[in-house]
Structures are given as C-alpha cells and as structure tokens.
Amino acid sequence: MTAATAEAEAARPPVVEERTATKVLRWLGKAPIHILLVFLGLLWLVPTIGLFLTSLFAPEDVNNIGWWKIFTKPSLATFQNYQDIYHNESIRSAIVTTIIISICGTALPILVASLAGYAFAWLEFPGRDWIFLGVIALLVVPLQMALIPIFSLYSKVGIFDTKLSLILFHTAFGLPFAIFLLRNFFIGIPKELLEAARIDGASELRIFVRLILPLGLPAIASLAIFQFLWTWNDLIVALSLARDTQPITVAIFSQLRQFGANLELIAPAAFVSLAIPLAVFFAFQRYFVQGLLAGSVK
Amino acid sequence: MSGASATAEPPVREAPPSAEPGKWRQYAIAAAFLAPAAFFLGVWIIYPMIKTIIRSFYGRDGSDFVGIDNYRTLFSSDTLVRAIENNAIWVIVVPAAVTALGLLYAVLTERIRWAVAFKTVVFMPMAVSAFAAGVTWRIMYQQEPDRGAINAGIGAVKGVFSPTGVLSEAAPSSDALEQQPSGALTLAQPLQAGDVALLGLTRIRSEEVPEIAQQAVEPESKPGEITGVVWRDFKPGGGTPGKVEQEELGLPGVTVELRDSNGEAVETAKTADDGSFTFRDVSQGDYTVGIGASTFAQPFGGVSWLGSKLITPSIIISYIWIWAGFAMVVIAAGLAAISRETLEAARTDGATEWQVFWRVTVPQLWPVLTVVFITLLINVLKVFDIVLAVAPQSVQDDANVIALAMWRTSFGGVSDFGLGSAIAVFLFLLVLPILAIQIRRFRREQGA
C-alpha cells in the first residue's frame, strides 16, 4: 500500500503533494485536541442549557421529567413560566430593585473613584503614595468585617432596608479596586496634555471633566462592567442589610427552602438573573477581559 | 513612571507645605477631590473594621466584655470547627486545581483556530453570579436519575454494564427455595435430567408483573431435559405455597441458571411468557437450579451529591466550573507574552516539547500563575453564595465554610453579633498575609 501511495505521489507535482500531506498529517495530529476541546466545551455549556430547559417545563412536568427529554415526541417546552414570573409581583419588584441598585451602585463608585483616581495620579499632596497604598490595602478587607457595624449603623440612622443603604455599601466596597484601576490608567495620560491645559488657566475640575474623563473612558468602561456585575450578582449584602428590599438573588434564595416544590419558579427566575449579566458580558466582552487583565496581571 | 514625573518637577516641591501659600491651595483642591472617597472608605470600611474588632470581645448583645471567649468558641464549637476544616479543604484543592486547569486550557487552545469560541464558553460562568450558578448546579445534582442530569449520565453508563433486573423485590414462596448471599434464589434439592423445577416467588409488587404474563403451567417432565417454571405463587385468597394453581401468573424474562455440582454455571435460560423454561441436553449428574441474582438487580438510585458526605466536593466542582475560565484567560494572556525566541532556542538545542513546556514556558509563566493562584486563594477563603445555593438546608452544617458560618451566626437566625464579629476577624486575619504580598508587588511595580 505504501508503495502504491509513493507511486501516486511521484506521478504528481511533488511540492503540492507534500503540502497537502503535511496539512492532513497536522490536522490528524491535532484531531484528539479538537475532540477533547469540543467535549470540554459541551461540559461547560450543559449546566446553563439544563437550567434554561428546566425553566421551560410546565409545573406538572418539571419534577418528573429530566430536562434532556423536553423535546421528546410532542415538545413539552412552554414559556408559560416566564409569563407567570412576569406577573409575579415579588419577582417583578425584585428585578426592578436589582436594576436600580446595580445602576446606581455602578455610577456612584465610578464618579467617586475617578475623582480620587485623578487626585492620586496628578495632584500634589503630602503622603500621596502612602495613602494610595492604604487604599490598595483596603482591597483585601472582607466585607464580612463591615456587615455587623453597618447593620447597627443603618438601624440607628433609619435607612435600614432601603435601596439607598445597599447602594452606599456597594459603592464603598467597590472603591478600592476602582481607585486602583483608574489611578493606574490616568497616570498613563500624557503629562503634556495636562500641563498645556494648566498653562491655559483651566481649573482642575475643568481638566478632570474635559480631559481626564473622556480619555479615561476605556478604563471606566471595563470598571463599569465589573461593578455592575458585582452589584447585580450580590447576595450577602442584601441578605444581611435588608429584609423587604429584595434583589433577585435574595428573592430566589427565599424560594430555595422549598427546592423541588417550586422549580417552575426558581428555574426561570435564576435564568433571568443570569441572562442579564450574560448579555452584558457578550456585549462588552473586550472591556471585560481588559479590565480583568488590568486588575490582576500587572 | 512616577519617577519620571518627579524629576520634571522643580525642587521647590520638597519644601515644607507652609513655605508657599500656592501649595495650600493645591492641597485643598486635592482634598476636595479625595473627600467623597475618604467619606465612603471611612464610614463603610475603616470605621466598621475597628468596630468589628472591638465587638468581637463582647458577648451576644454587646453589653458584657467577654475577653477571648468568642475566639474560644470559634475553635471549639462543632459547626465552626467543621467550617474551618471545610475551608481548609477548599484552600488546598481549589486554587491548585483551577490554576492547573486554566494552564491546561490555555495551552490546548493556543494554536486552535476556534479558540475564541471555546474560551467564551468556558469564561461565561464568570459573568454569572455564584448564586445563580449554584442554583444551576443544584438542578444538575438532583439525586433521582430521572431529574438530575449527572446521575442520569452515570446511570446510563452503568446500565450498559449491569442492566436493571426484571424484579426489584421477591421472596421464596416455600422452603424449597433458598436465598444465596449473592442475591440468587436456588432450589435446595439437587436436580437431575428429567426433573421439573418449581420456582415459586411471592411478595412481588403487582405493578412489577409484566402485562404479557400468562397463566403459569406446571411443565411436564421430559427425558434428558430439566424443565421448570418461575411463577408468582400467590393468588387472592391465599392458595397453596409451592403449587401452580389457577389465577397464578408466570413471570417472563427471569434469568434461570443451571449449575453443576461444583457450582459452575453450565447454562442460563430466560423464562417465557407463562414463566416456563427448559434446559436441553442435560448430562448425568446433580445440578442446582436457581434464579440468577441479576434478576433482582436494583435500578441505579443515583449518587447522593447533595447528601452530607459529598456536599463539599459537589460544591467545589461547581466552583471550579465557574473559575476555570478566569484562570484560562489570564494564563492565555501571559502565554501570548512569552518570548518566542526562547522557545525556538530551546527547540534548536534539541529539547522535546515536554521539556520546553516545563523548563521554558512554565518558569516564564510563573508570575502569572502566582497571580491566578493568589486571586483564587482570596476568593476561596471568602466563598459564600455558592455554598448557600447548592447545599440544601439540611446539610448546611456539613457544607459550612467560614464566611457562611459568619453570616449564619450573625444574621441567619442566631443573631450572636459577638461571635459573628470574631468569625469575621478570623477571616480577616486569614487574608491579611495575602495583603502583604499584594503591597510588596505594588511597591516593586512603582520601582520603590
């Protein structure tokens, strides 16, 4: 057989033959890797698909049939559950609460952090680098260290169980990372631009609004995505510092005690709570990865 | 880079602040820019931090000073010790596993054309809340193989090698049949060619008798053969045990084994719709006839992933599922930055790919691997949401981790703020060494 192939090879122009041969060989050599990666990729997809398909079962089927059998003979899939949770008052208000907390909990820390980031990057004051070091040190403080005193403080001030109280907490704990990221980005802005503006007599506030913010947009974008996801996905803060102000994670959590009896509610609610971060991730994937690398690899 | 800006400044900068009124204005502006951040960091992080440390030395309601009693409880209460042990398992397993997996994925996808698609899929769980991911896995982990996908998968694989028997439960109807340790039911009396074997069973659930089952018939004796019947030796009103009677159904599909005097299986047969079976061409000698254990093989009931024994490994698997993408993306970025020349040089020197990987690639990746490892270390110490999502209420003591214990003690019903504060401080002390590493890294970057 090899002899026959060799003869066939000799008959054709050798250069082309070699190229295709090596191509085929290389492809064959890589085939196991491709197969392995396809398998692993599916493994990573299955849980999310499973959650989605589970959410499509009618209440009477969800506990009796595995989600992988949903498309048997007559398809059992229905969007009824989504309609139901849309009309479910507590889930709907939970989603609205989550949206409000996430948007305000993203905008506020970014504003505060960019002011501070500018000061750390371009303003002169004594002990600047030491203070900045202190801010970075706060990065590792677990939020568990704050829950109990803040709980008491909120009760005393009278803002316990409000959206505002959650937003303020998220703002504070988002700040160390935000200041770190923005300061490092702002410091890369060319010095000449700032000095030209200062010589022209622009105030620091004007420089900040007109120069720093627009130039810092890429960093602000990746930061916004992180902060948004962080507040959207929060469970522990809302669970500890609020009772009736329930974001979606807490709403699902309160249903979890009867897991199995109410899967037709839990599954679609969990999928909704997961769909929005996924949409954000897919829309801004580039910024997401950039922010990730800026935050960790330095 | 800050060094460059410093040299460009006039040396006046080093003078004491009072020397120049313009400086004060500058400081005031800086203070104004920093004020909002200082307010938030002061009120929500620094003040509570100090307060929590103090609070940890007071009792449940905060009025009585108890010294280190809370810390003593932390290391003696069963649930809390369990939480610390579990967290230790997390710390030992997860950062190493995730870093290794991330490295593997980064290397595998390095020269694959559709790597982006793969990376997106693996990275996706990072965007999702640990809580929602936990709920997702809880659905995957359900025990009934009809519902939990993981057990369904295991059951499918298992079913190929050991199929489920036709009867889940049955007992001999008379002393003629004996229960063997293997689960098989054999006739006590040895048989020879020409004999008839009557294998009567009772205590069979009626829904397990197949619809094709027909009236059992006592077979006739035939020379050179062993014939017999397996039937449900029970009818409404009783009947005589050991006798085939009207209204008693044969049991189809049962595996009957014929064993010689040494106990070796000679032949097996499946019963017909009326429960009858025949072993042909039986040679001289004593034989035992019995119903094989496989007839009673239990269906796969599912691994109890959410039970007290496996709960921590189960949660860890779902956590690795979330974080592998992070490790992969960061390591892939590091991999792309490795200088190609060093790799080529090693190859020209005759190093194998394996050697190149371990001696050239990995050492250059070391800083990146460390970053991934430390990031995971911090996050694993603080793990909370996913445990609460995956572990059912009943096994939360078995799945407990430090952050969860802190929450349960302070807010989840117990409301012991003293002990809760002590747990928080303990958690803080665990992360503190990592802070030192982080600061050192930052200062090295600054060129200080």
Regarding whether B309 and B248 lie in a shared domain, the answer is no
pLDDT of amino acid B13: 45
Q: Does the pLDDT at position B16 exceed 70? A: no
Is B21 a member of any domain? yes
Q: What is the pLDDT of residues B342-369, one digit of tens each?
A: 888 888 888 888 888 888 889 999 989 9
Longest dimension (CA), chain B: 125
Number of A to B CB contacts under 8 A, please give it.
Answer: 288
pTM of the model: 0.80
> What's the CA gap between B405 and B397, in Å, rounded?
9
pLDDT at position B7 is 39
Alpha-carbon distance B440 to B448, whole Å? 10
What is the model's pLDDT at position A130? 92
Considering only CB atoms, which chain B residues are within 8 Å of A296?
330, 371-372, 375
Among chain B residues, CA nearest to A139: B435
Per-residue pLDDT tens digits for A149-166: 999 999 999 999 999 999
Q: Which two tokens stand for residue B20?
A: 């120049």
Beta-carbon separation of B446 and A252 below 8 A: no
pLDDT score, position B352: 87
Q: Of how many residues is chain A composed?
A: 298
Q: What confidence score (pLDDT) does residue B447 get? A: 56
> Is the model's pLDDT at A12 over the cut of 60?
no
Number of domains in chain B: 3
Nearest to A47 among B23, B118, B321 (CB): B321
The domain boundary residue, chosen from B257, B275, B296: B296
Q: What is the CA radius of gyration of chain A?
A: 27
Residue B58 in any domain: the answer is no
Domain boundary (B44, B59, B77) is at B44
Indicate the pLDDT class of residue B31, thresholds 50, 70 and 90. Answer: very high
Q: Are residues B83 and B147 in the same domain?
A: yes
Is the Cβ of A139 closer than 8 Å to some Cβ of chain B?
Answer: yes
CB contact under 8 A, B128 and A233: yes
Whole-angstrom distance, CA of residue A176 vs CA of residue A164 = 20
Residue in chain A closest to B44 (alpha carbons) equals: A172
Q: Which two tokens stand for residue B145?
A: 């193989």
How far away is chain B from the Cα of A96, in angstroms, using its nearest Cα?
Answer: 17
In a domain, B127, yes or no: yes
What number is the average pLDDT over the span B131-160?
A: 87
From the CB of residue B126, how many other CB atoms can be counted at a distance below 10 Å? Answer: 20
Q: Tell me the CATH number at B315.
A: 1.10.3720.10
B312 and B193 in one domain?
Answer: no
B283 and B348 co-located in one domain: no
* Neighbour-count burial for A203-224, b at 16+ CB within 10 Å, e otherwise: ebeebbeebbbebbeebbbbbb
Mean pLDDT (whole number) for A231-259: 89
B291 and B314 fall within a common domain: no
Comparing A169-173, A286-290, B187-191, which segment has the lowest mean pLDDT? A286-290
Q: Model confidence over B57-102: pLDDT tens digits?
A: 999 888 899 999 999 999 999 999 999 999 999 999 999 999 999 9
pLDDT digits (tens, 9 = 90+) for B373-413: 988 999 999 999 999 999 998 898 999 999 999 999 999 87
* CB < 8 Å to A140, chain B: 378, 431-432, 434-435, 438
> Is residue B209 domain-resident?
yes
Among A33, A50, A234, select the one facing B112 at the smallest CB separation.
A33
The tokens describing A80, both together, are 């009824």
Residues B142 and B255 in one domain: no
Listed by number, the residues of chain B in 319-338 with a beta carbon closer than 8 Å to a beta carbon of chain A are 321, 324-326, 329-330, 333-334
Q: What is the C-alpha separation between B270 and B273, in angstroms, rounded?
A: 10
**What pLDDT is attached to residue B429?**
95
B27 found inside a domain: yes
Among B251, B272, B296, residue at a domain's last position: B296
Q: What's the average model confidence in pLDDT over B17-37?
A: 82
Span A261-274, pLDDT tens digits = 688 888 999 999 88
Q: Which tens digits make up the pLDDT trace of B308-335? A: 889 999 999 999 999 999 999 999 989 9
Q: Are residues B138 and B181 in the same domain?
A: no
Within an 8 Å CB–CB cutoff, is residue B48 touching chain A? yes
**Residues of A in Cβ contact (< 8 Å) with B442:** 133, 136
Residues B145 and B228 placed together within one structural domain of the fold? no
Pick among B49, B101, B135, B401 to test the A interface (most A CBs inside 10 A): B135
- To probe the interface with A, which of B110, B129, B435 has the most A CB atoms within 10 Å? B129
Residues B141 and B186 in one domain: no
Asked whether B407 and B385 are in contact (CB, 8 A), the reply is no
B266 shares a domain with B135: no
- How many beta carbons lie within 10 A of that of residue B110, not counting itself? 12
Residue B285 sits in the same domain as residue B357: no
Report ipTM (2 d.p.).
0.86
Residue B161 has pLDDT above 70, yes or no: yes
Phi, psi of B136 (to 5 degrees): -55, -45
Mean pLDDT (chain B) is 86
Domain membership of residue B165 (yes or no) is no
CB contact under 8 A, B149 and A115: no
Q: Where are any strands of DSSP class E within chain A? A: none
Confidence of residue B236 (pLDDT cuts 50, 70, 90): confident
**Shortest Cα distance, chain A CAs vs residue B146, angstroms:** 5
Domain spans in chain A, listed from the N-terminal domain onward: 2-80, 88-296
| pLDDT at position B216 | 87
Q: Distance (Å, rounded) from C-alpha B304 to C-alpha B311? A: 9
Amino acid identity, position A273 = S
Q: Which of B129, B148, B334 shows the shortest C-beta gap to A297?
A: B334
Same domain membership, residue B436 and residue B320: yes
Contacts of B150 in chain A (CB under 8 A): none
Residue B128 maps to a domain: yes
pLDDT at A133 over 50: yes
CATH no., domain A88-296? 1.10.3720.10
Sheet of B276-279: strand order equals: B171-172, B196-202, B226-232, B276-279
Cβ separation B147–A66 shorter than 8 A: yes
How far is B121 from chain A, CA to nearest CA, in Å? 6
Q: How far does chain B reach from its first CA to its final CA, in angstroms?
A: 11
The answer to whether residue B396 sits within a structural domain is yes
Q: What domain range is B12 assigned to?
A: 2-44
Q: What CA–CA distance (Å, rounded) separates B202 from B225?
A: 26
pLDDT at A203 over 60: yes
Separation between Cα atoms, residue B245 and residue B275, nearest integer Å: 13
> Which CATH number characterizes residue B181's domain?
2.60.40
